[in-house]
Structure 1
Amino acid sequence: MSFKLSCVGFAVCSALASVPAVAVAEDAGVETANIERISVMGSRFNDYKVGSAAGAMRGDIDLMDTPQSVTVIPDFVTDEQLARNLAEVLSNDSSVTAGSEKWNRQQFSIRGFALDSGNGFLVNGHQHWSHYVQPVETLQQVEVLKGPSSMLYGQSGPGGLVNMVTKKPTYDRIFDLGFDTDEYGSTRFQMDAAGSANEEGSVRYRTMLVKQDTTYWTEYQNGENKERDRLLTFLTLDFDLTDDVTLSVKYDNTSDKAGLDSGAWLYSSGDKIGQVIGEEGKIWELPWAFIDINVVNMGADLQWHINDDWQMKLGYNHQQYERQRFGSSPTYTETPENGYKVKPFDRHDDWQYKTAYVDFIGNFTTGSFEHQFLIGANMLDYYYQQQAQYTKDAVVVMPGQSINPNVNYQNATPKNPSEYHHYGFYIQDLITLTDSWKALAGVRYDEQKKDGAGNNAYAVSPKFGLIYEPTDFGSIYVNYSKSFTPKSSVVESKDKPDVNDGLNLKPEYGTQYEIGTKWELFDGGLLMTAAAFDINVENRVITREFDQPDENGHVQITSQEGEQNHKGFEMGAQGQLGDSWFVTSSMMYLNAKYKNDPTLDGKTPIDAPKWSANVWTRYEMTEELALNFGAVYVGERFADTGNTIVKDAFVRFDLGATYNWTYSDTEMSVRMNVKNLFDTDYLDGGSYKEVTIGEGRNIGLAFEAKF
């Protein structure tokens, strides 16, 4: 169709981007004791461009010296977009594709590989259990690390990682109040306060409070809208114990209760294949279904500047995650008007995630070579226990009909807890060979111990990179890196005896080769990047069922065979194109295939589009008024592993405007955003049994006051 040509054109054009410039003023000749910290406020600074990503190299190394594709999404951009969740933040990077949002979880893929809830996400470099909608109000920036990152973070997928960096305490006083709403009646109140707790500034704080009540556009079969109620509290403190030692402590609590939605259904056969079953926006879960989550994070980080060349970083975090899921488990059918099956359940889950790390970072010289050296270790202790009660038999209901769920998880016996311990040791060296050449070498050893025979895993993950800098503002790099994801042993179920029951599965390994380039243009105001990559994964787990049981009664076999290969290229730009024009954008081409697979050979994974792109711009009409325009393009994707159900490509346009003014020394702003400006119908992430329907046009209004 003719639209395809314009989509590709948009994908290429949206690779252009911009960022505001940063001005730094410094007074000379003033005694240290009399130096006054000055905060320069204004809209014309380069808030679209960030120079480093702490997660990429476990240190503050410039992105130009990082032989890896990294996208940093600053909070300035996502605040402009009135982002409400991590999916809206990550839409600013086209290498990230949204997946299913079933049961109020947001799932993602990077370069076509799904991010695991347990090892695909980090908060300030700590592994993070992400089985819930991540709060974004506390984030200073989000870093998308492309490709295998096991050398620094251990078990993780081949596509990359998402590192969420939280806001820090400040020396200067901050007190901001914000409120936003939309046409559905959703509201969000925010308070952000920071500053020094004593006159010397040796104790600093940052605290945030967010109260959100969301009314969704989707509704249950009886006409009731899905709703969500969330309360977030956040507190972090910095203590300067000495001139060289700083202790940071952090606490946050998310209480999040919402109606349950297991996703929409698409026809999988016939003339209507790929179309939505039933009325769009209708939820198949019964209206009493809900999910109630409470997450607490408590942690501390210590930074010690040993001398001018060496520093030590030490951190610990304990994440306590509790969830009650009271659901109806609707069963997919293409004829729900004739009735569909539900099987109510009540389930309580308890996850405990304990993480810790210690890093020694140093700069030294050997001969004519300069070294930026890292040696460290990290650990993860995982605990999980489930308590659940399920109804014995499924019940058939008609659309709009409800039943009384007679289940209570407290009546069930808790299952035996699942635990494992993960340890890793790593060493990395970024070596300056000449004025134009740098080399990176690193290696990591991992060990995972889990209860039960055959559940221990060991892995060595190397990483190599080479950087050539032909000018002071440009670099070209190549890298080689590996990822690994431990697998447990095969455990057969009662109704499906397995030939390989008890087999100890090998870890899944991913190998990437990447070549890329980075350029800072317009006096450093615009960062442009490009990268080509080839990622291959082996030791995939495959389960096949027999048509008839074999002579020993086995009905299936689980083994490790086949590969998954994803190759492509991506481009991006963040920065400033003119005095008043700022842009961030990216695009990606992806060719993702299964290889040597007995059932999926040559097929493409679910939600892996060939083309994707995004752009978000800011144009400052005056000192007070700024306009925004954005667009997101996602190409055709498959909704099933057999590649028979296609979700069409779409382009979604967004529009926004901000007006700033000052009243009685208080800076104020009002913002209006229109998401999905042309009310485009589209299908977002998820398979045909749990797809997310794209939200229609939604007008949002926000007010902020900085006292």
Structure 2
Amino acid sequence: MHLTSIFRSILLPILLVIPTFLHAQQTVVYVEGYIKDQEGKPLPGSSVTVDGTSFSTSTNNKGYYRLRIQNGKLTIRYTFIGFKESVRTITVQNNSVEENITLESRSDALQQVEITGRKEKTYKTTSTFIGKNENQLKDVPQSVSYASKELIADQGLMRVGDVVKNFSGVNQFSVYDDLTIRGFRVNGQTNTQLLNGMRTSTGFWKQSLANYLERVEILKGPSSALFGNASPGGVLNRVTKKPLDESRKSVSFALGSFNTLRALGDFTGPATKDSSLLYRVNVGYENAESFRDLMFDKNIVIAPSLTFIPSDRTRINFDLVYTDSRSRLDRGQPIFGSFDLNSTPQSLSLNTTNDYLNEITYNASVSLNHKISNNLSLNASYMKTGYSEDLNEHRTSNSYALDGNGAPINNLAGMIVQIRQRKRFIDNFSGYLNYTPKTGIIEHKIVAGLDYGSEKTPVGGSQLTASGYRNAANNGSIASYVVANKSRYLLDAAGNPVPNVPHFNLSDPISSQRMQDDSKDFFTQSTVAPAYYYLNAGYVQDQLKIGALQVLLGIRYEYYTDYSNYKTTTESKTHSEAWLPRLGAVYTIIPNINVYGSYVKGYNPQTSATIANPNAGGPFDPLKSSMIEFGTKTSWFRDQLTVTAAVYKIKQTGALYNTPGVTDVLRQIGDEKSQGFEMDVIGKIMPNWNVIASYSYNTAKILDSGIPGEIGIQKPNTPKNSANLWSRYSFIKGSLQGFGVGFGINYIDKRNLLYDAKFSPDNQLTLPSYTLFNAALFYNIGKLQLQLNANNIGNKKHWIGGYDYLRLFPGQPENYMLTLGYSF
């Protein structure tokens, strides 16, 4: 029986029956009451949680709560944004308990660096550390989108590429760690992504589990004034979970479609009696197959974190994220030369059974926060990233087979075999001072610091490549077929050139996917060229506040050094430098409505070291960009729901695109422009009703290119319209108390693929628009949580992105995931 049918006919009824059984096994008792502020006004949406359990609820519009609990000694926490937490310990013995709570408002000084964990358990986050110190999100003069761990868990997500569907203007470029933000590509091959605010890189080919993340956030627009080399669309920051000063432990097990098995654990609390040492350990294991032929993923993630607090002025943090991934590299779905998306099944891949991809990545960091005085603090962080790749793959040559006359054979895909081993290491240091003086009526938030970063591909990497066509003597290969030199090639009985690697027969894929004898292929051996760059930068920024007006002034100077032909006899240094301003203003019309505007410039070197592709070519000129943005940030329902809207225009020059008909080689184009409108909504409509929604309209066009057909078309994998809605409603009283339901919709407009000069613009392949429906059921009882996620209900056929006709990336068909969680 198909797994989907099993879920529908067996597991779903069981999920619905279990709660009834559990209800019957225990005495029903409650803790109830009202939560108000010091003036006696109700605090709707206040959170009520019981330590060591999954018991939780929220107050209604009158500040009333009623929480089903269990007998015994319980510690209950009452929290509301902007108020001090209240903790009560009660003993329950078969009787309900009334607890009325008054919460005190707080005016705590903002943290200088995110070094301890977030205790809230909501979708909404009020602040960010992405600007080198903590800022209220409403006071940042740029658009910021984010997803908390609670949202990620409710949607049953385990990949950042899936998480970003919740953000306006962000969507997947491919199935890899590969995104577009406002029409500009951001991927894990270049170290323009952040981990805890530090530049890093991922394995790119496979996205790791996301169970160690506290949240994912994106600062929209060029961010070079803060972080140096960065994409003009925005910068993605992964924030890891940090230790808490209270004990929390949880484990979860999940079973789902495509034979998915997943086990996760999260353990945190004080390691010493005086809480001077805090710990957190996140672990994850996944063993999953796929709807794609021959694909699988086996992943292990270990992410420990320690926080040492020797005094109230000093905090030291250590973080490690170690991932071990075993899989095959999926190069996408190929289609026939008729360019019909439905000419092959979405499951079809070009791999063979002897392919493999083994990756190990680690990110280790140490950070220090020392408070020198009440308004001056020192922050320093160092992070080391290591990556190793062991790859054996059969992949497309990005072209169809050719007959003797040089015409494409539309059912045969040209093939390449690549065997590669390489390593990469990235070092980053960031040291800065936070100074918050007051001069007259002006309040300052000054950040001044130095950055150092480097990336190295060491000596020792190697690559074997088999491609092209066999020569007439059949003792070697020729890279490409030229009809005028037909006599130089080995020809078959039909007069067609014989490929070095057998073509993949799209009409008979099973025979092509069998284990191949690569010993008969002619390989060329090359070294993965050693590469090295480093940068030094200094910056200063001041956020001035005068009454309702805040003005942000920042400048960064960056000096970049790259080694051409590193570790060879022709080694030479090349340099580039840039001054990068950041200007912004925020005006508070009324306490819950801010308007803002900003101007920023971006810069990103594009060299052999940063591209991280041994066949890409280069070095190329730096990528330069600028952005103007205006918007508004508002909050509603006592700051429980926020609405952000923005309009923007981004200009860029010097982007890199694939060279048509040539494998992996990149080319540089001229100007591009992106402009549009975005809106994001996140928070609570009612105390027990969470919502996140977004909408984006974006026109992103290539203005200058050596390929005339590219000019004026929408940039690759960039929808003009996209929208998202996810909502969770929890029942907090009555017979359905403990139940929750979730529902979501994702809409993505049609998208162009990369233009290919071999075909006319009339044959430009466009991926169709799609709308997906998702849903979830939740049930909490005591320390136990049951959760069922259903995605792509209705089994909509769709593609999340693609490169060309032979490399399309289908989205998952209808799938289910059943999760059992336990907190203790």
Which of 550, 555, 569 matches 1:443? 555
Q: Does 1:690 align with 2:819?
A: no
- Output one character per residue of 1:433-470: Cα deviation in whole Å (capped at 9) or x when no partner: 2x221100101011111113463111111010011111
Structure 1: give runs of 5+ residues left out of the alignment: 1-17, 29-43, 221-225, 491-495, 547-556
Which of 129, 140, 148 is matched with 2:214 structurally? 140
Q: Who is 2:702 aligned against?
A: 594
Check the 8 A contact 2:336/2:410 in 1, yes or no.
no
Query: Which residue number corresponds to residue 120 of structure 1?
Result: 192
Q: Distance in 1 between matches of 2:332 and 2:577?
A: 37
Out of 372, 376, 380, the residue aligned to residue 453 of structure 2 is 380
Q: Decide whether the 8 Å contact of 2:533 with 2:560 is kept in 1.
A: yes
2:744 paired with 1:636: no
Matched, 1:395 2:517: no
Q: Residue 802 of structure 2 aligns to a residue in which SS?
A: coil
Map of 2:791 onto structure 1: 675
Alpha carbons of 1:137 and 1:638: their partners in 2 closer, same or farther (altered >3 Å)? Answer: same
d(CA) in 2 for partners of 1:542, 1:341: 21
Letter in 1 for 2:790: V
Relative to structure 1, the CA distance from residue 411 to residue 324 in structure 2 (aligned partners, 3 Å threshold; closer, same or farther) is: farther
Specify the code of the residue in structure 2 equivalent to 1:257: R
Moved more, 145-154 or 411-420: 411-420
Q: Which residue number in structure 1 is paired with residue 143 of structure 2?
A: 69
Report the Cα distance in structure 2 between the residues aligned to 1:612 and 1:62, rounded to whole angstroms: 27
1:109 aligns with 180
Partner SS for 2:147: strand
Q: Secondary structure at the match of 1:455?
A: strand
Deviation at 1:106, TM superposition (A): 2.3
Query: Hey, what does 1:7 align to over in structure 2?
Result: none
Q: Secondary structure at the match of 1:239?
A: strand
Please tell me whether the aligned partners of residues 20 and 575 of structure 1 are also in contact (alpha carbons under 8 angstroms). Answer: no
Q: Which residue of 1 aligns with 2:103?
A: none
* Candidates 535, 538, 547, aligned match of 1:425: 538
Is contact 1:388–1:410 with CA below 8 Å preserved after alignment?
no
- Counterpart of 1:661, as a letter, is I
Q: Which structure would you say has the larger Rg? A: 2
- State the distance in 2 between where 1:116 and 1:673 align: 28
Give the aligned residue type for 1:432: K
Among 686, 694, 702, the alignment partner of 1:578 is: 686
The answer to whether the 8 A contact 1:99-1:109 is kept is yes
Partner secondary structure for residue 79 of structure 1:
helix
CA distance in 1, matches of 2:510, 2:743: 40
Aligned counterparts of 1:475 and 1:407: Cα–Cα separation in 2: 67
Structure 2 CA distance for partners of 1:471 and 1:120, relative to 1, 3 Å: same
Note if 1:461 corresponds to 2:614. no
C-alpha distance in 1 between matches for 2:576 and 2:444? 32
Partners of 1:242 and 1:449 in 2: how far apart?
40
CA–CA distance in structure 2, aligned partners of residues 461 and 79 of structure 1: 38
Instruction: Determine the C-alpha separation between the residues in 2 that align with 1:376 and 1:409.
Output: 53
Query: 2: distance between equivalents of 1:211 and 1:110?
Result: 30
Query: C-alpha distance in 2, partners of 1:408/1:304?
Result: 61
| In 2, Cα distance between equivalents of 1:359 and 1:178 | 39
> For the structure 1 residues 337 and 606, does the alpha-carbon distance in structure 2 shift closer, same or farther, using more than 3 Å as the test?
closer
Query: Could you tell me how far apart the structure 1 residues matched to 2:668 and 2:417 are?
Result: 35
Alignment correspondent of 2:375: 309
Q: CA deviation at 1:300?
A: 0.5
282-291 or 138-147, which deviates more: 282-291
Instruction: Please say which of residues 604-613 and 335-344 is displaced more in the overlay.
Output: 335-344
Paired residue secondary structure (1:76): helix
Question: Which residue does 2:296 correspond to in 1?
Answer: 227
Equivalent residues of 1:566, 1:593 under 8 A apart: yes
1:258-304, CA deviations, whole angstroms, 9 ceiling, x for partnerless residues?
A: 12211012456x5xx35144222111111221110011222200110
Count of residues paired in the alignment? 638
Query: Partner of 2:163: helix, strand, or coil?
Result: helix
In the alignment, structure 1 residue 603 sits paired with structure 2 residue 713: yes
Instruction: Note the C-alpha offset of 1:587.
Output: 0.7
> Matches of 1:68 and 1:233 in 2, distance apart?
34
The answer to whether residue 466 in structure 2 is matched with residue 359 in structure 1 is no
Call closer, same or farther: CA 1:20–1:465 in 2, change over 3 Å. farther
Q: CA RMSD in A?
A: 2.8
Report whether the alignment pairs 1:475 with 2:594.
Answer: yes
Deviations 1:378-407 (A, max 9, x none): 121101143112236332344222312339
Taking the TM superposition and a 5 Å limit, the aligned residue runs for 1:192-591 are: 192-220=266-294, 226-266=295-335, 270=338, 273-332=339-398, 338-385=411-458, 386-391=461-466, 393-398=500-505, 399-401=509-511, 402=514, 403-406=516-519, 414-433=527-546, 435-452=547-564, 453=572, 455-488=574-607, 505-540=620-655, 562-591=670-699
In 2: Cα distance, 1:329 partner to 1:542 partner: 19
> Deviation at 1:654?
0.1
Separation of aligned partners in 2, 1:641 and 1:687: 9
Distance 1:162 1:20, change over 3 A: farther
CA contact (8 A) 1:19 1:574 kept: no
The offset of 1:234, in angstroms, is: 1.2
1:654 matched to 2:771: no
In structure 1, distance between residues paired with 2:201 and 2:627: 25
**Deviations, residues 549-598 of structure 1 (Å, cap 9, x unaligned):** xxxxxxxx999663100000100110111132110011100011111334
Cα deviation 1:149-199 (Å, max 9, x = unaligned) = 000000111000100000001111122111111032211001111111110
Distance 1:684 1:254, change over 3 A: same
The CA distance in 2 between the partners of 1:444 and 1:409, in whole Å, is 51
Shift of 1:341: 3.3
For structure 2, the 5+ residue unaligned runs are 1-43, 48-78, 88-118, 402-408, 467-476, 478-499, 565-571, 610-614
Give the counterpart letter for 2:648 in structure 1: F
Code of the residue aligned with 2:772 in structure 1: it is: R
Shift in Å, 1:88: 1.3
Give the deviation of 1:255 after TM superposition: 0.5
In 2, the alpha carbon distance for the partners of 1:541 and 1:690 equals 18
The whole-number CA distance in structure 1 between the counterparts of 2:755 and 2:275 is 57
Change (3 A) 1:20 1:444: farther
- What displacement does 1:505 show? 4.8
- C-alpha displacement of 1:488: 3.8
Partner of 1:705: 822
Shift of 1:416: 4.1
